[in-house]
Amino acid sequence: MNAHDDLAEIAAIVARARTAQAAFEADGSQARYDRAAQAAAWAIMEPGRNRALAELSVRTTGLGNVPDKITKNHRKTLGLMRDITTAKTYGVISDDPGTGITQIARPMGVIGAVVPSTNPAATPANNIINALKCGNAIVLSPSPKGVPACEVLLAYIHAEFAKIGEDPDLVQMVPAPGSKDKTQRLLEISDLVVVTGSQNNVKRAYSSGTPALAVGAGNVTVIVDETADLAATAQKIAASKTFDNATSCSSENALVVVDAVYDAFVAELARAGGALIRDEAPIVAALWPDGHLNRDIIAQDADQVITALGLTGEVPGDTEFIVVETTGIGPDHPLSGEKLSRVAALYRAPDFEGAVGITTRILAHQGAGHSVGLHSAIDARALALGTALPTCRVIVNQAHCFATGGAFNNGMPFSLSMGCGSWGGNSIDDNLHWRHFMQTVKIVREIPAREPSVEDIFADYWACAET
């Protein structure tokens, strides 16, 4: 198939999606939208299919591990379904006599979604469920390594659709082999594009001419201060850093520890499976042998990481992740950036203010807008970070990768895509969730006038300006 045929194929897929969506909306109801979303959710959550998708994902991408993929597929989807269960996405969703405005929910249309290889089942499922809940059709463009998992996921969804009489054209994908040209065409002719993954894809989404929801790069930095519960903090960081072999953009990449508890915290990290390496040079050389992250280390199990880093026999046998002491920050110091592996950078700060300074410099290098963590007993310090740092989330006393994308014990929406605001070059500063997949029509009625006098508005200012 030549390039012209490839683009025609994408146009035909989107046309079928558009036809299906029009019918879905024309004969829509909240019950129908909810049922379609439930079908897509059960397609990935049914235990046998969940395991099959997890095993296929790890086998074809070489990233992460099967038990954690199963957990991620289940919890992310279950949490999303909890979030959307009572959400009103069809018909009149609000009617305010005070303003005279009635709001009617309307779908976006056809969603074009670019999804990464790090979560080749969980992220597509999240986007599909949100799209269907709001009355949309969706066409997925998976990364090359994510194609097999996406194909199987869609087969499972279509099987569920057959049980409820729903149109399979509501959920489609760019057929293999994928290409930049095919993805670009999808971006250009969809009604809304949603992009999670490489920053190159994010930039292409924003320049496609189609309204876009895209997310920024992660490079999570976590501060541990002198009031933290060191044992609990080390356990939380260990659980988060090792989950699915650090495929999450919310995995801790830098730990900034105040001097007063530095040595004690290093000891707690060791008890939690974190081996300290004081000489960063060989680690940097092994992680970036040619200036690019070593694929033998990205999102791999601990034993493979230890071997690839040349640490066999140099670290304890129960080591689960590597912590590397460093002071450098910036392009010439790659440890200060995202590592997508069971490796974290460790910085020593003189005090909390010094830790904030180090964190600010790291975010200026990479990860601005995404999220930072704080382990502290002083809540005011979380507020201080929220008012001083370029970040959309401050995660307090939690395992970062479990908390950032929504958890059953915090109030964040369940998501696998984190908006990073203007700091990260994004149009949203929230976790991508169902509300982003819906638009509204406002019925505007006349109400009694509420026009203030000029004096009502400016009296205080005039008094101030005259003094």
What is the arithmetic mean of pLDDT over 20-27?
98
Tens digit of each residue's pLDDT (9 = 90 or more) over 137-176: 999 999 999 999 999 999 999 999 999 999 999 999 999 8
Do 21 and 110 form a contact (C-beta atoms < 8 A)? Answer: yes
428: pLDDT strictly greater than 90: yes
What is the arithmetic mean of pLDDT over 105-125?
95
Write the CA distances from 28 to 33, 82, 94, 125, 383, integer angstroms: 7, 22, 18, 21, 44
Report pTM. Answer: 0.95
- Quick one: what percent of the chain has pLDDT higher than 70? 99
Confidence tier at 201 by pLDDT (50, 70, 90): confident
- The reported pLDDT for the residue numbered 196 is 87
**In angstroms, how far is CA 387 from the centroid of its own chain?**
23
- Please state whether the peptide bond connecting residue 177 to the residue before it is cis, i.e. omega within 30 degrees of 0: yes
Helix ranges restricted to H, 243-332: 262-271, 280-287, 302-308
Tell me the angle at which helices 47-61 and 147-164 cross, rounded to the nearest 10 degrees. Answer: 160
Catalytic residue among 249, 392, 401, 420: 249
Tens digit of each residue's pLDDT (9 = 90 or more) over 324-351: 999 999 999 999 999 999 999 999 999 9
- If phi > 0 it is left, if psi is from -120 to 50 it is alpha, else beta; for residue 60 that is alpha
Do 308 and 341 form a contact (C-beta atoms < 8 A)? Answer: no
Q: Could you tell me what percentage of the chain is helix, strand and coil, using 3-state DSSP and rounding each to the nearest 5?
A: 50, 15, 35
Please give the order of strands across the beta sheet that includes 171-173. Answer: 171-173, 137-142, 110-115, 192-195, 212-214
Residue the block writes with tokens 């014990």? 409
Least confident residue range of 2-6, 186-190, 375-379: 2-6
53 token code pair: 């998708």
Tens digit of each residue's pLDDT (9 = 90 or more) over 262-304: 999 999 999 999 999 999 999 999 999 998 999 899 999 999 9
Helix ranges restricted to H, 176-277: 180-189, 199-206, 230-242, 262-271
The answer to whether 249 is a known catalytic residue is yes
Confidence tier at 2 by pLDDT (50, 70, 90): low
204: pLDDT strictly greater than 90: no
Q: How far apart are the first and last CA of the chain?
A: 77
- The reported pLDDT for the residue numbered 1 is 56
